[in-house]
Structure 1
Amino acid sequence: MAAVVAEVPLVADAEFAMGMEFSSREAVIRAMKEYAIRRSVDYRVYESESLTFYAKCTYYRKAWLAKQKSVEKIFRGWKASYEALLIWFEAICHKEPSAIIHFEIMPAYQGDDLVYDIRDGNNNIVPIAFAIVEGETSDVWHFFLSNLRQHVVTRDGVGLISDRHESINAAVARSNGAWSPPIAFHMFCIRHIESNFLRKFKVPYLQKLVVNIGYSRTVREYKVHYKRLRERDEAYTNWLNRILREQYALAFDGGYRWGHMTMNLVECINSVLKGARNLPITALVKATFYRFNELFTGKRSEAEAWISGGHIFSELVTSKLHANQLASGNIQVNCLDRKNEVFEVREMPNGLEYAIDLCRYRCDYGEFQVDRILCRHVFACCANQRLDWQGYVHDVYKMDQV
């Protein structure tokens, strides 16, 4: 698919044709989006500059027609699906009065012309924390994050991890503090920073070093990796300095990441929704609802089985705690202040020393304050002073919370 500039409406069958012209680059992009929504096809952008926009369909036309007929036969057409959506929402609210359905209808366009008396063709429908939207714009993200804060994330002190998309940054900035410290902490995925760095400097051999800077759990470790990057070229660290350390490095994030440096937890949800994105709207929403209902029901059963086995902490954390407890045997402990639970430890035989402050949940090693899970040094201090180590594991890892 390709187009240039001037003003001719789409042809009768809503297909693109050679020689078609539009009034602006924005009109071309809008026409492409509308075409993709109407035809349930995907397209890939190959070039996007100030005066050019080149995209190509990812499916053959015949394959799409066969698929479209099958989808319409099973799920009815798009128009009928939109008409059924509100009815289905009403049924959900009737069955579960605590459910919240919030959506907005935006004007639809055919080329440059506003089209009246039809439902929103840009998929701006947001069921709780799942958004079906036209694209990543500041307005879309502001709408999504506002509703997320109002209906889902009602507690303070949460961390929001995203890529560095300008529309997300703009939405956070205009949230009136709802997604800013001390209420919330906006941080970036280290893999996206790594990708941005590579795109800027074309030095793949330094990618791992950038990632290591982000994963540094202590200030000392951060400085070591940062110095190595600066020695290669100050331009690299100058670029990195444009990002707040609190937004990409574990050593400075205050523990609000809980050790999560990437968006992989979100990306893995794609497997649950595989094959649903091209369904008509009501079928898509139903598929999302029922698939996640099945997923969470299974997870609940797993948690109940773990609790019935007498476990206090979640399975993953239990195994990690057990490993750290076993590793605490070769650590010498010096109690500096028993009342305030301040210690100094030395690992044997390497002689590395770390300071531990149990009251403040801190250890120079970094794992204690980053993951909120006891490291081997904390286990050694608890054993040395006969303290109940379970009291230092954060409540979020306890099975009653799960």
Structure 2
Amino acid sequence: MKDYTICQGVDYRVYESEPTTFYAKYHSKLGSDTFAEAIKPLVEVDPSIKVKSVIAEVQSKFNYTVSYRKAWLATQKAVESIFGGWEASYEALPIWFEAMCHKEPSAVVYFETMLAYQGDDLVDGTHLYEKYKGCLLVVVSQDGNNNIVPIAFAIVEGETSDAWHFFLSNLRQHVVTRDGVGLISDRHESINSSIIRSNGAWSPPRAFHMFCIRHIELNFLRKFKAPYL
């Protein structure tokens, strides 16, 4: 029934049903809910499927061209229907971390809640988007075979001095416990501030804070606008 309505470019609403028959009224506007049900198998196989791929699949299967916005809404609804919404995902984090720590006893998880949501080690941060904003702080390390290995992360309210202090303090206490390590970063003001607040934990001789060459290059190009240099 849903396949037929999509092919016709209409939607329906059931107003009466019997054991073997149901009665529906059609209307010309095809809603994203109907599309969401139709594309659930696609989303279940590939939750990160691109909207353009959804549009192409609908066109191929139903010979109907859906708008980008409607396809995007349908994809979001299908993801939530299959895997749960943003709230459910955040509520599941403590359970997921508990299972992770049970599997790997050396793992450490530390929560600090707020009243409202508003080798050489390399640390950096990236901003989060979608419904919940914030920032993901990450530290990775390089082993003897030049493999980059993630060793810790934190989801915080933003790339602030307090957030970096929270992250680097726990990193020093639970993960990077030996002295003489190198800490590479873009030397963001909030990182520099948190290192000053660390009471020597991230300062010589216990640690050596170094520049990230990649960020030096980017900052140089941003300032001088001269790639040949």
Q: Percent identity?
A: 80
Report the secondary structure of 1:149's partner residue.
helix
Q: Deviations over 1:236-291 (max 9, x none)?
A: xxxxxxxxxxxxxxxxxxxxxxxxxxxxxxxxxxxxxxxxxxxxxxxxxxxxxxxx
Alignment counterpart, residue 180 of structure 1, candidates 203, 209, 213: 203
2:113 partner amino acid:
I
Cα separation, 1, equivalents of 2:95 and 2:179: 35
1:107 maps to 2:115: yes
1:167 maps to 2:190: yes
Write out aligned runs for 1:218-367 (5 A).
none
Deviation at 1:167, TM superposition (A): 1.4
Deviation at 1:147, TM superposition (A): 1.1
Partner of 2:59: none
2:93 partner amino acid:
L
Partner of 1:144: 167
1:68 maps to 2:76: yes
Structure 1 unaligned residues grouped into runs of 5+: 1-59, 111-120, 207-402
C-alpha contact 1:103 1:125 (8 A) present in aligned 2: no
C-alpha spacing 1:88/1:73, structure 2 compared with 1 (3 Å): same
2:167 partner amino acid:
F
C-alpha contact 1:139 1:171 (8 A) present in aligned 2: yes
C-alpha contact 1:158 1:185 (8 A) present in aligned 2: yes
Report the secondary structure of 1:132's partner residue.
strand
C-alpha spacing 1:74/1:197, structure 2 compared with 1 (3 Å): same
C-alpha spacing 1:178/1:81, structure 2 compared with 1 (3 Å): same
Partner of 1:92: 100
1:130 maps to 2:138: no
C-alpha contact 2:134 2:158 (8 A) present in aligned 1: no
Structure 2 unaligned residues grouped into runs of 5+: 1-67, 119-131, 139-150
1:139 partner amino acid:
D
Cα separation, 1, equivalents of 2:83 and 2:134: 17
Cα separation, 1, equivalents of 2:226 and 2:135: 39
1:160 partner amino acid:
L
Alignment counterpart, residue 196 of structure 1, candidates 210, 219, 223: 219
Partner of 2:21: none
Deviation at 1:76, TM superposition (A): 0.8
1:158 maps to 2:181: yes
Cα separation, 2, equivalents of 1:102 and 1:66: 36
Deviation at 1:79, TM superposition (A): 1.9
C-alpha spacing 1:63/1:105, structure 2 compared with 1 (3 Å): farther
Report the secondary structure of 2:184's partner residue.
strand
Query: TM-score by structure 1 length?
Result: 0.31
C-alpha spacing 1:198/1:91, structure 2 compared with 1 (3 Å): closer
Report the structure number with the largest CA radius of gyration.
1
Higher strand share: 2
Deviation at 1:203, TM superposition (A): 3.1
Q: Deviations over 1:40-85 (max 9, x none)?
A: xxxxxxxxxxxxxxxxxxxx64454223112212211122222222
Cα separation, 2, equivalents of 1:203 and 1:172: 33
2:160 partner amino acid:
T
Query: TM-score by structure 2 length?
Result: 0.51
Deviation at 1:125, TM superposition (A): 8.7
Report the secondary structure of 2:208's partner residue.
strand
How many residues get paired?
137
Deviation at 1:181, TM superposition (A): 0.7
